[in-house]
Amino acid sequence: MVKTKQLINELSKSLRWQNFIFLFIAGCINAFGVNIFLAPVGLYDSGISGTSMLLWQITPERYTLSLFLLLLNTPLFLFGWRKQGTVFTVYSLWAVLVYSGASYLITNVLPIDVSTASPFAGKDLLLCALFGGLISGVACAIKSLNPKVKVYGVQAENAPSMKRSLEAGEAITLDSVRTFADGIAVKHPGDITLDMVRKYVDEVVTVSEDEIAAAILALMEKQKLVAEGAGAVTVAAAMFGKLPIAGKKVCCLISGGNIDVNILSRVITRGLQREGRNCLLTIALDDKPGQLLGVTQVISECGANIVGVTHERSDAAYAVTSCLLRISMETRDFAQIEEIKAKLKEQGFKLVE
């Protein structure tokens, strides 16, 4: 009895009410995040969160999650008491009690349907780049959680080893691969990977180099993400209608940002050209004063921005008194480019296609 009183006195001096409040807030936030956002779709975290979600899967409905949490953590309390002392054990017990109670309230008392509350729940299809191990693991996990979700693989059309292998019914080896999406530049798919893709992936499609470049540019501009070529192929497939995604809830897995700066510069330029935002015009001119001024006035009136000019007199295919003018411009879209071309022709300038 005396020892118990001494223990209580020591705890009253060591324990701080601020710590109890902090653990209460943290436990409630953790319980809300796990039970609402992650547990309904079977995603796992570490520590108490992982314990909670594991029990979510194995606990019969007639038992409460909080009771199982307390029982499972009892050895941890004893170990903490032996190694860290009573104060540590009290804080730990309080944290688990708060987390367990909050989880019970969320799943049993509050009017929340946790099966549909998660933003990750209810996806119709997932797009994944065809890294062998990546799509195998992702597709296996997705199909295990929800067999109705469609999983599509995406490859570069200049390195379609998996697509060709699926069509042939066996693993084949390509003679060569040529793509700046070097993360998926694979000549021969692995045997285990091929079997996993056959089992879990619904379809494999390909995208061109220009489409990959446009996807990288779109991710940079709209999402502020720098993706490598292999990481952006899923977005390219979605952007350019490679799959029937209209009206569907789609997740594009962007799986890497390891891209060389020089390649990135070329990719940006190619992407701008594909969207009509960068244009190079070649114009055959009479080599006399005022010609360059006339061209630049037309471009200026149309609202484009000239970023480069090259003037050549040495082309043997044209008259000695003529020259070639190459102009690089920043434009809004293809419609503006066509407008500039039409007005240049109206002014008598000859465009070299």
Task: Examine the pLDDT at 113 and tell me if it is beyond 90.
Answer: no
Taking only the tens place, the pLDDT of each residue in 298-327 is 999 999 999 999 888 766 666 666 788 899
312-319 own/partner pairs: CB under 8 Å, 24+ apart: 313/287, 318/284
Task: Examine the pLDDT at 59 and tell me if it is beyond 50.
Answer: no
Confidence tier at 51 by pLDDT (50, 70, 90): very low
Q: What is the pLDDT of residue 353?
A: 76
Confidence tier at 168 by pLDDT (50, 70, 90): very high
Between strands 322-330 and 278-286, the pairing is: antiparallel
> Taking the model in full, what pTM does it have?
0.59
What average pLDDT does range 219-236 have in this prediction? 91
Task: Examine the pLDDT at 53 and tell me if it is beyond 90.
Answer: no
What average pLDDT does range 39-49 have in this prediction? 42
Between strands 150-156 and 203-207, the pairing is: parallel
